[in-house]
Structure 1
Amino acid sequence: MLTDVETHALSCLDETALVGDLVELVRIPSITGTDAESELQHRQAAQLAGFGMDVDSWKLDLAELTADPRFPGTEAERVEGYGVVATSGAGHPALVLQGHVDVVPLGDVARWGDGAPFGGRITGDVVHGRGACDMKAGVAVNTAVARTLAASGLRLERPFAVHSVVSEEDGGLGAFATLVRGHGGDAAVITEPTSGQVVTAHAGSLTFTLRVPGLAAHGSTRTAGVSAFEAYLPVHRAIVELERERNADPDPLFAGNPLPYPISVGRISAGDWASSVPDRLVAEGRLGVQLGEDPAHAREAFTAAVAAAVRADPWLSDHPVGVVWSGGQFASGATPDDDPLIGQVAAAVADSGGRPPVGRLAVPYGSDLRLYTGIGGIPTLLYGPGDVRMAHAPREQVSITETLEAARALVLMAVRRCGAHR
C-alpha cells in the first residue's frame, strides 16, 4: 500500500517530458571521447540546475587522474572530459542515481537500415538510436526522478543526488573522477539496461593486445615467408580452450548463462599488401574476469595460455607473441547479498506497478558498479530499462514502457530512501 506522499510523488512524474528527454539525448552523438560527450554533460548540468539542485560541474584533470595508481584505464583518445554531480541539498546523499552519457561508435552504418543512428525515432513503444538502450534511457530516468522530486514540492530529510559521468564505455574514467573528487552517498543505483531486473554483481573484463610476428615474402613464393596470420591460429586455439576452462562451472547468479566470462577477439589486422606474406598481426580483445577474481590472476592465466601455445610452436618459440594489457581494465564487482538496498529496490519496483524482479542476478559485462563499491565503499546495484542484447548493436532500441516503469520505481525509491514529506 502506497502512502499519500508516495502517491503524490508518482503523480508528479511527467512521462511526456521523460520520453522527450530520451529522444533529445539520443540525438546528441556523444561517442566516447568526442566533443559531443562534453556537450551532453553541459546539457545535463544546466538541466539539473534548472530543477533547483546544487550542481558541481568540473573539467577533469586528465594528467592527475591517469597518474593515480587506481586509474581504471581508457581506450578512446580524448583531450577533455567533464564531471557533473547534482544534489538536492546539503549533507551526505541517502541515494545516488548514476548514469553515463557516452556511447560506442556506430559500426557499419548500412546495418541501421532507413533510420538515422542518432535520429531518436519513435515507432510504437520503441525509441531507436545509438545509446537508446545503453544507456540514455537510464540517464533520462535519472533526470526524470530529479524533475519529479522538484515538481512534487516534497521536502527531503536526506539529500538525493544524480551523478552524470563520461567514459564508462572504455573503462570508467568519469565515475573514477567523481569518486576521487569526494562525491558519494549511502547507496547508489546505476540505471544500466537490465530489463528491469535487479543486478547485484558483474564480471570484469580486461582489454588485451597481441602482436604476432611473421616473415614477409612475395605472395607467389609464400613458402619463403611465414604468415603472421597462420602463426596466430594456434594462439587463438589456446584462447578458445582457456575460455572453455574458465566457464566450466558458472556461478548460479548468472541464471544459466553458459558463458559469463567470454574471451572475445574483437579486432584483427595483419600485413600491409595483398600479394605479400603478412609479417605481423595485431589482435585486440577482451578477457572476462570471474566474480571475486583478482584481475592480476586473470592476466596470469591468459599470458600462461599464450606462452604455452608459443612454446609448442616451432616458429613462435623463437619469435614470441607480445601481450600488452591495453585500454579499459574492469575488475568484477558485487554488493553483499544481505545489503538492504537489494530488497528496497525490489520492493519499489513491485509497489510502483512494475514487474517484480526475479531475484539477485549477475551479468557478464563490466560497469561502474565496481568503482562505486570498490573505491567509494557504496552499496550499488544495476537496475534500469533496456535489454543489454540491444546495447552496442545496430538498430539499438529501448522500450518506452520499460523506461517509464523504471522511472516510477526509482521515484518511489528516492521518496522512501530520502524520507520525503509535505
Structure 2
Amino acid sequence: MHDGELLHRAHPPVAHGGGLGAWATIRRGHLGDLCVIPEPTAGSVVTAHAGALTFRLEIRGHAAHAAMRDRGVSAVEKFAVVHAGLQQLEEERQKDADPRFWGERYPYGLSIGRVRAGDWASSVPDRLVAEGRYGVRLGEPVSVAKEAFEARLREICAADPWLAEHPVRVTWVGGAFASGELPAGHRLLPLVLAAVADAGGGATDERAVAAGTDLRQYVGAGVPTLHYGPGDLHLAHGPLEKVPVAAVVTAARAFALLTLRTCGVR
C-alpha cells in the first residue's frame, strides 16, 4: 500500500475495551490491502465471528438471620430466577444462526462467569453481584443486542413480585466486541484456501467462531480480513492449551505463499 492511500481509509470504530491494542495500531495508520489474523482456527478459515459484551447484574434482597430466613429475601434465590430467565433468552438467540457456525451449540452464548453474595454464612444475603458474557449475533448492532438483553431482564423482573419492586440493575462493563465478517465474495477467501492447500494443509473449510475477535476492527477500517492459524480455539484459555508444531509450519508456509501471490514478489 502507498502511504498516500492511508488518508482515504475510514477511521475504525472505537474498541470499547475489546481489542484495544489492534484499535490503537490501526489508529496509528498501520493498515494494508488485506489482513490474515493468525489466531487458532484448527485448520479452518474463519470469515466471521460473533460479538461479545460483558455485563454486571446487581440484585437486592432483604437481610435476616438464617435461622429465620423466611423473614428475609435471599438475593441468591432471586438470582436463580434471573439466571433461569437469561438461559431461556440464550436458547432463543441461537435460532437461525449463520450456517458457518456449524458444530457450535451456542454461537451467541450467554454465560455467568463470576458471582459474589453475602457477608456471613448465617445470614440471608441482601445483595448479589454477577458478571457475565453475552453473545452478539452476526450483523446485529451492539445497541440492539443490549436492548434485547435489558428488555428480557425487565420482563423477568416484572413477573416476580419482589423483583418488580426491586428491579435488577444491569451495567455494561469490560470488553465489548461487535460482530464482524469478511465481505461476501471477497477474493481473500479463495486466495487463502489455495495457499493453505499448496502449503500442505489440504482442503479446508470456511466457518465462523463464537468468540469476539479483532477481525471487526480491520474490516471497520476498510481492510478485508479473515482468520487462519495453527491450534484449536476450543483449547484456548484452558489448562490443555497447545499448538502442534506441524500446524505452525504449515501456517508459516501458507502465509509465505499468500504474501508472494498478493504482493507481486517475483
Give CA deviations for 1:334-357 in whole Å, capped at 9, x if unaligned: 012211011111100111111221
Aligned to 1:419: 264
1:362 corresponds to 2:208: yes
Aligned amino acid, residue 404 of structure 1: V
Aligned to 1:253: 100
Task: Report which structure shows greater RCO (CA 8 Å, sep ≥6).
Answer: 2
CA distance in 2: counterparts of 1:189 and 1:254, whole angstroms: 19
- Within-5 A mapping of 1:183-332: 183-332=30-179
CA distance in 2: counterparts of 1:279 and 1:309, whole angstroms: 19
1:69 deviates by 11
Among residues 11, 16, 19, which one is paired with 1:73 in the alignment? Answer: 16
CA distance in 2: counterparts of 1:296 and 1:233, whole angstroms: 26
Among residues 347, 367, 373, which one is paired with 2:219 in the alignment? Answer: 373
Aligned amino acid, residue 46 of structure 2: V
1:386 corresponds to 2:231: yes
CA distance in 2: counterparts of 1:325 and 1:336, whole angstroms: 29
Report the secondary structure of 1:303's partner residue: helix
Report the secondary structure of 1:288's partner residue: strand
Report the secondary structure of 1:378's partner residue: coil
CA contact (8 A) 1:250 1:257 kept: no
Q: Which runs of 5+ in 1 are unaligned?
A: 1-67, 75-170
1:256 deviates by 4.1
CA contact (8 A) 1:250 1:259 kept: no
Q: Percent identity?
A: 54
Aligned to 1:341: 188
CA distance in 2: counterparts of 1:176 and 1:229, whole angstroms: 39
Among residues 247, 253, 258, which one is paired with 1:402 in the alignment? Answer: 247
Aligned to 1:33: none
CA distance in 2: counterparts of 1:69 and 1:352, whole angstroms: 33
CA contact (8 A) 2:12 2:23 kept: no
CA contact (8 A) 2:32 2:223 kept: yes
1:70 deviates by 4.2
Report the secondary structure of 1:345's partner residue: helix
Report the secondary structure of 1:353's partner residue: helix
Give CA deviations for 1:192-236 in whole Å, capped at 9, x if unaligned: 100121111001011110000011112112112111000111111
TM-score, with normalisation over the residues of structure 2? 0.93
Aligned amino acid, residue 208 of structure 2: A
Q: How many residues in Structure 1 have an aligned counterpart in Structure 2? A: 256
CA distance in 2: counterparts of 1:384 and 1:70, whole angstroms: 25
1:300 deviates by 0.6
Give CA deviations for 1:130-189 in whole Å, capped at 9, x if unaligned: xxxxxxxxxxxxxxxxxxxxxxxxxxxxxxxxxxxxxxxxx1000110111121000000
